[in-house]
């Protein structure tokens, strides 16, 4: 826990001593759920299917069957979802995919979009 004297509940010092001393009071903090981003793969005519399956297994924790399913979805529909993440994680995944594709001279494109 990083924020509160009272841990996850917040409202750490709502109670007050009976002798009139001033005491710091914390009101419960409403932490909002983080924005989420879809990471998408785009189809192209040149990237080998096996490379796309490899990418999905390596960076998106898919097994071979799941990865093949996503790859074929992209192949047939033009775009497909690899996973849903918070901003920094989604950005890292996109960079990892794009770097590996470039290193291997494949035109594979990976993008993120806010949910």
Which residues lie near ligand TYC (CB under 6 A)? Answer: 41-45, 47-49, 52, 71, 74-75, 108
Nearest to 81 by CA among 64, 94, 100: 94
Q: To the nearest whole angstrom, how small is the minimum distance from the Cβ of residue 108 to ligand TYC?
A: 5
Residue 89 or residue 111: which is nearer to ligand TYC going by CB?
Answer: 111
**What minimum distance in Å lies between the beta carbon of 89 and ligand TYC?**
20
DSSP the chain: --S-TTGGG--TT-S--TT-------PPP-PPPPP-EEEEEE--SSS-HHHHHHHHHHHH---HHHHHHHHHHHHHHSEEEEEEE-HHHHHHHHHHHHHHHHHTT---EEEEEE-
Tell me how far, at minimum, the Cβ of 71 lies from ligand TYC, in Å: 5
Output 6 or 72, the one with its CB closest to ligand TYC: 72
Which residue, 41 or 112, is less far from ligand TYC as judged by CB? 41
Q: How far is the CB of 66 from ligand TYC (least distance, A)?
A: 14
Q: Which is nearer to ligand TYC, 8 or 103 (CB)?
A: 103
């Amino acid at each position: 826990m990083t924020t509160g004297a009272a841990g996850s509940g917040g409202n750490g010092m709502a109670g007050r001593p009976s002798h009139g001393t001033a005491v710091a009071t914390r009101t419960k903090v409403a932490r909002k759920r983080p924005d989420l981003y879809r990471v998408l793969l785009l189809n192209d005519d040149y990237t080998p299917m096996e490379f796309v399956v490899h990418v999905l297994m390596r960076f998106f924790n898919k097994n071979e069957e799941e990865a093949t399913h996503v790859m074929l979805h992209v192949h047939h529909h033009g775009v497909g979802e690899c996973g849903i993440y918070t901003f920094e994680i989604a950005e890292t995944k996109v960079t990892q995919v794009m770097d590996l594709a470039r290193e291997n001279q494949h035109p594979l494109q990976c993008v993120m979009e806010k949910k």
